[in-house]
Amino acid sequence: MKQSQYLLRLLGGVMLFTGVAYATEPAEVEKFVNARIEIGEMMTNYFQGGAGYGDGQRPSPQQMNDMRTDIHNKLTAILAKRDLTLDEYRKRSAEVFADDAAVKHYLNEHPDLKQRYEALPLDRMGRGGSTGRGY
C-alpha cells in the first residue's frame, strides 16, 4: 500500500516537473496569439455577409477553389510576418494554446489584444474540435 502511494506521488511529481519544464515560452505565446487574432479577424471579414452568393446559394466548385487559394495566400502572408509557415502554425498552435495560463497572462498584459481576442468566434463556423478562439 505505501509503495503504491509513493509511486503515485513520484509519478505526480514527475508530471508536474515535466509540465513546468515544457511551459510555452512567452515569445511563442506572443507570436501565436497575435497570429490567431489576425487570422480570426481576416476570416471573419472574409466571410462576413455570405460573400454575396445570394439566398442560400452555394459557391460553384471553381469559386470554392478560388476562395481556398485566396484564403491560403492571405494566411501565408499573415504567418510570414511572424516567421511561421502554415504547417508550423497548424502543428504547434494546439500545443501553445493548451498552455492556458501563459495565454491568459499575455492577454492580461495587453488589454487591447485581449479585447480583439475575445471578440473572435469561439469555433470555426460551427465546427467543433477547436482549441479555443476560432482559427
* Sequence spans of domains, the chain: 25-48+59-126+131-135
CB-CB contact of 100 with 117 (8 Å): no
Backbone angles phi, psi at 69, to 5 degrees: -65, -45
The pLDDT confidence band at residue 2, using thresholds 50, 70 and 90, is: low
Res 16 pLDDT > 60: no
User: 104-116, pLDDT tens digit by residue?
Assistant: 999 999 999 999 9
Nearest to 26 by CA among 110, 102, 84, 111: 102
Res 11 pLDDT > 80: no
The pLDDT confidence band at residue 58, using thresholds 50, 70 and 90, is: confident
Which set of grid coordinates corresponds to residue 107? Answer: 492577454
Q: Which amino acid is at 131?
A: T
Res 1 pLDDT > 70: no
- Percentage of the chain with pLDDT > 90? 54
Distance CA 33, CA 27 (A): 10
* pLDDT reported for residue 24: 80
Q: What average pLDDT does the structure give for the chain?
A: 79
Distance CA 39, CA 125 (A): 14
